[in-house]
Amino acid sequence: MVDAALPSRPLAGPEARVFATVGPELFAALRTARPERIVLQVPAGLVRNAHALTAQIRDAVTAPVVLATRPCFGACDFPSRDEAPRADVAVVLGHAPIPNVPLVRTTFFVEMREAGGDPERIAASIAAAPIPRRLGLVFSVQHLGLTGPLSAALAARGFDVRFGRGDRRLAYAAQALGCNYTSAEAVASEVEAFLFVGTGRFHPLGLAFAVDRPVWAIDPLQNRLEPPIDRAALIGRRLLAVAAARDARRWGILVSTFAGQNRTPTALALQGRARAHGRDAEMLLFDRLDPRDLEGRDLDAYVNTACPRIALDDGPNFPKPVLTPPEFLMALGERPLEPYRFDTYH
Ligand code: SF4
């Protein structure tokens, strides 16, 4: 269990508990909680194992366990009361809690920590590459255990390593969240490049939007180093979307009902800005956004206040331009195009 690393929750309400993996500590804590009914939610990558995990927890805890059909993208979209009305405890796999998101029931976050990855071997690979020595580190939650050992191994090879604490949406220092890279932003002025430690392209891409520094990435299990992402190309594509929406008269403002994706005050403020510029702006409420829900609407463009990655990663799937709030202000002429600002979800 890794409760000790979690800062105290600033919000009153149901409790968040944190576990490293699915195993005896989780089962013992669940038995102690004496749940009436558990709802289990898994990320898309674990759907194949979800039914076996459901049975495993049911057998170990001897309590009813229902599986949420909807996978989670983050700790922001756990099952609502309506999705699991009889469950008094949730088990959410693959994510750290987001400390400033209020929970609807006691929730056990299982971060699926990965014990693998040899810090000396990783540091040797990094030292052999043309990576600047003043280096910021950012980790996926699964690999946060490498923060100390990898920092030490890099320092021993002449690197000046930094990582930041970030804001209240991050549970841990050096943590990456797809909508919040404030742990990196906190040290960006002190480093020449960043290294993301984890798997996949999701976080390196988000980090490249958020910081004006080269972003390298290493898969710590395969010891595979990826060269920096072309930030200029990423931002160039977003500025094309801004240009395509600049003359939009009728805007849709996308607002999610998920607890950790709802930015109603931002949406209202954006609606005010649109109207101040003589544009129509209609709120559209949803939970998980499906591009098909936007088809056939008499709207010219959208600004998305839910997960920022919807616009950045999935924009081409939508029938009309979908901008982030900072991009929307660019389209209205209220913000300059440079420097590009990532839609950090605080
Ligand atoms: S808002 Fe998006 S990026 Fe942030 S935690 Fe949720 S799914 Fe991940």
Give the pTM. 0.94
Report how far ligand 1's centroid is from the alpha carbon of 296 (Å): 27
261: CA distance to ligand 1 center in Å? 7
The domains spanning 3-110 and 232-331 adopt the same CATH topology: yes
Measured between alpha carbons, how far is 65 from 53 in angstroms, rounded to an integer? 10
Q: Is residue 118 scored above 90 in pLDDT? A: yes
What ligand 1 atom has the least distance to the C-alpha of 73? 7
How confident is the model over 25-47, as a mean pLDDT? 97
Question: What mean pLDDT do residues 220-237 have?
Answer: 97
Task: State yes or no: pLDDT of 29 exceeds 90.
Answer: yes
Instruction: Report the separation in Å between the CA atom of 345 and the middle of ligand 1, taken as the mean of its atom positions.
Output: 8
CB distance 294 to 320 below 8 Å? yes
DSSP label at residue 217: E
Q: Closest ligand 1 atom, CA of 95?
A: 5
Ligand 1 cavity residues, CB under 6 Å:
73-74, 76, 177-179, 260-261, 307, 309, 345
The residue whose C-alpha atom lies closest to atom 8 belonging to ligand 1 is 74
Residue 10 scores a pLDDT above 80: no
CATH 3.40.50.11850 is held by the domain 119-229: yes
Measured between alpha carbons, how far is 107 from 91 in angstroms, rounded to an integer? Answer: 6
Q: Let me know how long the chain is.
A: 346
Measuring from atom 3 of ligand 1, which residue has the nearest CA?
A: 178
Span 73-86, average pLDDT: 96
**Mean pLDDT to the nearest integer, 311-327:** 96
Tokens coding 36: 């009436």
**Residue 88 Cα to ligand 1 middle (Å):** 24
| Mean pLDDT confidence for 308-314 | 97
Q: What is the pLDDT of residue 12?
A: 63
- Asked if 78 and 90 touch (Cβ cutoff 8 Å), the reply is yes
The pLDDT of residue 1 is 39
How far does the centroid of ligand 1 lie from the alpha carbon of residue 20, in Å?
20
Mean pLDDT of the chain: 95
* Reported confidence tier of residue 13, pLDDT bands at 50, 70, 90: confident
Tens digits of per-residue pLDDT, 191-218? 999 999 999 999 999 999 999 999 999 9
- Identify which of 77, 289, 346 to mutate to test ligand 1's pocket (most ligand atoms within 8 A of the CB): 77
Whether the per-residue pLDDT at 9 is higher than 70: the answer is: no
Structure confidence by residue, pLDDT tens digits, 119-154: 999 999 999 999 999 999 999 999 999 999 999 999
Predicted confidence at residue 7, as pLDDT, reads 43
Provide the β-strand partners of residue 148: none
- From 258, 324, 345, the mutation candidate for ligand 1 (largest count of ligand atoms within 8 A of CB) is 345
Helix intervals (H) in 74-146: 119-128
Tell me yes or no: is domain 3-110 CATH 3.40.50.11840.
Answer: yes
Q: How far is CA 254 from the centre of its chain?
A: 18
* In the chain, where the domains are located: 3-110, 119-229, 232-331
The residue whose CA is least distant from atom 2 of ligand 1 is 307
Beta bridge partners of 72: 43
- Mutate which of 261, 263, 312, 314 for ligand 1? The one with the most ligand atoms within 8 Å of its CB, which is 261
| Ligand 1 centroid, distance to 178 Cα (angstroms) | 5
Q: Is residue 49 scored above 90 in pLDDT? A: yes
Q: Whose CA is nearest to atom 1 of ligand 1?
A: 307
Type and span of the H or E element at 266: helix 264-276
The two tokens of residue 14 are 């149901």
Tell me what the mean pLDDT of segment 255-267 comes to: 97
Is the pLDDT at 3 greater than 70? The verdict is: no
Q: Which atom of ligand 1 is nearest to the CA of 306?
A: 1
Architecture label for domain 232-331? 3-Layer(aba) Sandwich (3.40)
Q: Residue 11 — pLDDT band, cuts 50, 70, 90? A: low
Expressed in angstroms and rounded, the spacing between residue 21 Cα and the centre of ligand 1 is 21
Question: Which bin fits 198, alpha (ψ -120 to 50), beta or left (φ > 0)?
Answer: left
Q: What is the pLDDT of residue 52?
A: 97
Q: Give the model's confidence band at 316: pLDDT under 50 very low, under 70 low, under 90 confident, else very high.
A: very high
Q: State the pairing for strand pair 134-139/193-197.
A: parallel
Strands across the sheet containing 301-304? 280-286, 250-256, 301-304, 322-323
Q: What is the mean pLDDT of residues 94-122?
A: 97
Give the C-alpha distances (Å, rounded to integers) separating 79 from 13, 230, 319: 16, 36, 28
Instruction: Report CA(189)–ligand 1 centroid distance (Å).
Output: 25
Mean pLDDT, rounded, for 239-262:
97
- Rounded to an integer, what distance in angstroms lies between the CA atom of residue 43 and that of residue 62? 24
Write out the two tokens for 321: 């331009």
Q: Cβ contacts of residue 222 below 8 Å, gap of 6+? A: none
Which one-letter DSSP state was computed for residue 7?
P
Which residue CA neighbors atom 4 of ligand 1 most closely? Answer: 179
CA of 32 to the centre of ligand 1 (A): 30
**Of 295, 277, 309, which Cα lies nearest the Cα of 176?**
309
